[in-house]
Structure 1
Amino acid sequence: MLISICIPTYNRPSTLINCLNSLSLQTEKQFEVCISDNCSKANIQKLIHPFKKKLKIRFNKNKKNLGFALNLLKVSNMAKGDFIWFLGDDDLIVRDGIKTLKNIIKKNKKCEFFWINSYYLNKNYLKKFNYPFNTKNLPKKMKRHSPQKKNKKLKFFDLIDRKISFDYLLGVFVCVFRRDQWNRHQNVIDKKLIKDVRTWSNFENTCFFIKIFCAAFSKSDAFFCARPLTVSLHGVREWSNLYPMVEIVRIPEALDYYRSKGLSLFKYIKNKNYALRNFFNYFFKIFFYGEQMGLNYINFRRHFFNNLIFPNAWLSIIYFINRKIRLFLKI
């Protein structure tokens, strides 16, 4: 069994080197690394060359920036393994991460989709140590992406649960899946909309992989791995100004799509309501800052008015006021 680690990268040479260093330290050596450079300013091919002695690397450089979505698709199509594991160029993988994943896959042969937990860590922590960062220096205690503590087998749509994760697979780097099924169902992609290079400007260039997941795995057995095998660094992502728009526009859109492909009505209502917990305060921020926070990507009928039927859209005002009161009382 071969696992393909697929890394889309753009203008993050230092974090990419840390990522590759964490891969070079793996106790399991039988895996391949696919890197697609989205036309970075730095000479990425030269920077990664030393790692070719330790890692089986496939490398591509796009002649121009294709945008995140097409670059993610490109790197997945470079893979030759049985399973694909997307890894961010700012992510790290724990030393026995691939060995642990392989053991999980071998013990759960009927599962085609695996949700792999991740730790959070501030990027500044790495500055305390020599570069490239050695994962033996990771802190013993880190916050988990999912608070769940037990592994479990489940159906694909059971992963769409706020108790597992608030982003409902939008964080694609927690996903491991069969490559053949992924390749077979790429026909669901809107080939026009996915070409928009503006960050998170439409559902397609933000969530195209969710469409493929639904087509390929909606009726499949899945596995939730509670133990974090990767580390996601805080303070690296350049698109943080668009996060409010992603939370109250793209995540609800993803839930709408899941519902259209078979998510139960009860799960849809419960999770859609939760996804709108910051609805009004985030919309206020977006209105105030305008295009800087993605106002030009919003369809008011679909993204604002249609969501007013959910209680949390209105309760978000109270939640916001309560948070401010508690913050004031702590001062």
Structure 2
Amino acid sequence: MKLSICIPTYNRSKHLKNCLASIAANDSQYLNQVDICISDNGSTDDTEKVVQEAKQFLRIKYQKNETNLGIPRNFLKVVNMAEGEFAWLIGDDDLLFPYTIQRVLELIQSQSSVDYFYINSAHLTTEYVFAFPQPFNTKDLPENMQAFSPYNKPGVMPFLDLIDPKISFDFLGGMFLAVFRRELWLKNQHHLDRSAIEDKRTFSHFDNTFPHIKIFAHAFAKSKAYFEPTPLSICLTGAREWSPMYPLIHSVRLVEALELYRSRGLKLWAYLSCRNYALNNFISDMGAMYFYREKSGFKYINPLAEFAKNMFYPNTYLSLFYFLFRKLKSLLGFKI
């Protein structure tokens, strides 16, 4: 088995149904070469029924947790369920194109020295998907969807070269963008802080926000990576319950990710450049976190400490002007 598609899920059966339908739309000769692993975090909706129906068309390994393990531990569990040489962690709301599995298998076959594949994705809204009969048919996808990464040069590169906002503006934060050698993932799970990933408060620590980044940084820092510019999945905007916490992710957790990459060998200039880029919304993010502090994760940070550790980066201050400039353009009716 070359590839396992790993899907953690919880009470999102309507999204999962579309996800599985999009996988089933792939050619059967390639579907027979992958397994689909689903770890259900104790759903109380009809998730199990959706999975049983999909088993008519797909090779699915399904496990339902007796209790909700929390997001990071469910990530770990679903990859542990897999048998493939490579694993692809996708969201239960993500969609695949009808040619996706063929292309991913071809990449794995042709790039035998690569441990990590960055697989580009396309943006789409939940409103668009649910405006059609369900389950959604990928034949109804719009043309010219915006790609998650604007970078358009395919090829092999050192893994840490992916840590570049021109390639990945969230520094590999999107788990659905990564097809990775599973053996190296399994060998590096122990780097996660156990108490942090057992904390069920959303994004209360770096490790329970980006467990995959921590594993990637340790597992693949010295590996070859491959960038695939053609979107092979569709990421839905509007299906993220944690969106009020995005300022915390953007201006705090991504900075912590860069500190981790630096400790794993990211070059100093690349680190400084990426960190300054990551702070391009710092002041507005801090303001949003305070204003929506009941649900933004503001209680997990010390704002003065965050400012102190970022005070030498120009964007810490310029972010206020960027924010005002965006607001002015919006008020004047210009496209941002």
TM-score (norm 1): 0.97
* 8 Å CA contact retained: 2:119, 2:231: yes
Aligned counterpart, 1:251: 254
Instruction: Tell me what 1:21 maps to.
Output: 21
What pairs with 1:185-264 in structure 2 (closer than 5 Å)? Answer: 185-264=188-267
Pairwise CA RMSD of aligned residues?
A: 1.2
Does the aligned pair in 2 maintain the 1:2–1:32 contact within 8 Å? no
Instruction: State how far apart, in whole Å, the 2-side matches of 1:232 and 1:210 are.
Output: 18
**1:291, distance to aligned residue in structure 2 (A):** 3.0
Residue in 1 that maps onto 2:175: 172
The residue aligned with 1:3 is: 3
Letter of the aligned partner of 2:125 in structure 1? N
| Residue 35 of structure 1 pairs with residue 15 of structure 2 | no
Give distance in 2, aligned partners of 1:262 and 1:303: 23
Partner of 1:314: 317
Letter in 1 for 2:284: N
Counterpart-to-counterpart distance in 1, 2:97 and 2:258: 31
Q: Equivalences for 1:1-331 in 2 at 5 Å?
A: 1-27=1-27, 28-29=30-31, 30-300=33-303, 302-330=305-333
AA paired with 1:40?
A: S
Cα distance, 1:328 vs structure 2: 2.0
Alignment-mate amino acid for residue 7 of structure 2:
I
Equivalent position SS for 1:7? strand
CA displacement at 1:128 relative to structure 2: 3.1
Q: Give how far 1:183 is off.
A: 0.9
Cα-to-partner distance string for 1:63-86 (whole Å, 9 max, x where unaligned): 111111011111010000110001
* Greater helix content: 1
CA distance in 1, matches of 2:47, 2:331: 47
Q: Which amino acid aligns with 1:12?
A: R
Please state whether the residue corresponding to 1:205 is helix, strand or coil. Answer: coil
AA partner of residue 257 (structure 2): A
Between the aligned partners of 1:59 and 1:4, the Cα distance in structure 2 is 13
Superposed displacement of residue 329, structure 1: 2.0
Cα shift readout 1:125-181 (whole Å, capped 9, x = no counterpart): 123322101111111111110011221210000010000121101111101111111
Paired residue total: 331
Q: Structure 1: which amino acid aligns with 2:20?
A: L
CA distance in 2, matches of 1:63, 1:305: 44
Find the aligned partners of 1:317 and 1:32 in 2 and give their Cα distance. Answer: 48
DSSP 3-state at the match of 1:102: helix
Q: Percent identity?
A: 45
**Structure 1 Cα separation of the partners of residues 281 and 240 of structure 2:** 21
Unaligned runs of 5+ in 1: none
2:244 is paired with a residue of what secondary structure? helix
Could you tell me how far 1:285 is from its partner in structure 2? Answer: 1.3
Please say which of residues 50-59 and 293-302 is displaced more in the overlay. 293-302
Normalised by the length of structure 2, the TM-score is 0.96
Q: CA deviation at 1:302?
A: 4.4
SS of corresponding position for 1:103: helix
Residues 199-248 of structure 1: per-residue CA shift (max 9 Å, x gap)? 11110101222221122111011000000000011111111100111100
- Counterpart amino acid of residue 173 in structure 1: F
Q: 2: CA distance between counterparts of 1:299 and 1:66?
A: 28
The verdict on how the C-alpha distance between 1:287 and 1:128 changes in structure 2, with shifts beyond 3 A counting, is: closer
